[in-house]
Amino acid sequence: MSIHLALYYASLAGNAALTQLNALGDAVITSTANGYLVPPVINRVFRAAGVGGLLTRAQLNSSSIRDFTPFDLAPVNSGAVISTPAVFQDFRRNPIPLRTNEELDAFILNTGVGPTKTTVAVWFCDQAPQPVSGRVFTVHWTSSIPLAAADAWSQVTPVFDNGLPSGTFAIVGGRVESATGQFYRYIPKGGNPYRPGSFCSQAVGGQVTDQDRYGGIGEWLRFDNTNPPLMEIFALAADATQAGYMDLIQVA
C-alpha cells in the first residue's frame, strides 16, 4: 500500500463564502496555483481533515467529485491545534476515487475577523488500507533541533533512544508530540517516494486516533536499520523540541 499526506494552508480573514486554500509546497506531488494534480498511482483519498482557529466548514472539490456534488468535511477541528481525539473523515472502506491529473482543491469557511490560520489535510492512497498483524514493537525518538519555520513542512532527524537490531523494518504506526504541531509525515530513503503521516499531538496526554497505531491501517513504509527515514513536521510555530514513537514490525 502507498500513502501520501498532503496539506492545504492559508491565513484568512472571516469569509461569507467558501474560500480556496493554497496547496502547500510538496516535494513529491505536483501543485498548481491552488490545488494538487492527482498523482497517477495514489489517486484515491481515504481520509481528510480540516483544522483552524475559527473554522466552521471545509470542502474538497474536483471535476470527478463534481460528478456528484462538492464533498463537505464535517465535523472539523475548530481550534488552533488538533482536537483530542482528532476529528477527521474516514473513507477507509470506500476511498474516494479521483481522476489522474485532475486538480483537487480545498475550500473553507471561518468566522475570524482578522487573519486565521487554517489547514486541510488529505491522505492519498492506491488502495483501501488493510490492517496488518505481526510482532509489533515501539521505539521512542527525540529531536532537539528547532523546526526550520512556522506554517511549513520542516525536516526532522529522529534520534532513537536505543539502537535497532540488524534487519528490515516496516513502520506500521506512530505518534509525534510537538507543542504547536498539526501534522507529520515520514520521508523514505529510496524506494516508494510517497510520504505517509498523520496528526501530531500537542501534549503527552493528547489522543489522536487508534487507527494509526500498531498496524491499524497497514504498512506505511519499509527501511533497514542502517538507513532510517527522516521526518517532516507541519507546525504553527518553530517548536524547539519534538518527540515521538514508531511502531515497527521486523520483516527481514
Return the C-alpha cell found at 184: 507529520
Exposure string over 18-31, b if 16+ CB within 10 A, otherwise e: ebbbbbbeeeebeb
The predicted structure's pLDDT at residue 81: 87
pLDDT at 15: 78
pLDDT for 113: 77
Q: Report the C-alpha dihedral over residues 88, 89, 95, 96, rounded to 10 degrees.
A: -120
Q: What angle do CA 40, 105, 46 make, to 5 degrees?
A: 55
Could you tell me which of 230, 212, 52, 79 has the C-alpha nearest to residue 154? Answer: 230
Query: Which parts of the chain have pLDDT scores under 50?
Result: none
- Kindly state the cell numbers that stand for 200: 501530531
Q: Which residues lie closer than 8 Å to 27 by C-beta, 6 or more apart? A: none
pTM above 0.75, yes or no: yes
Handedness of CA 7, 12, 14, 18 (dihedral sign): negative
For 172-214, the pLDDT digits (tens) are 999 999 999 999 999 998 888 999 999 999 988 888 999 999 9
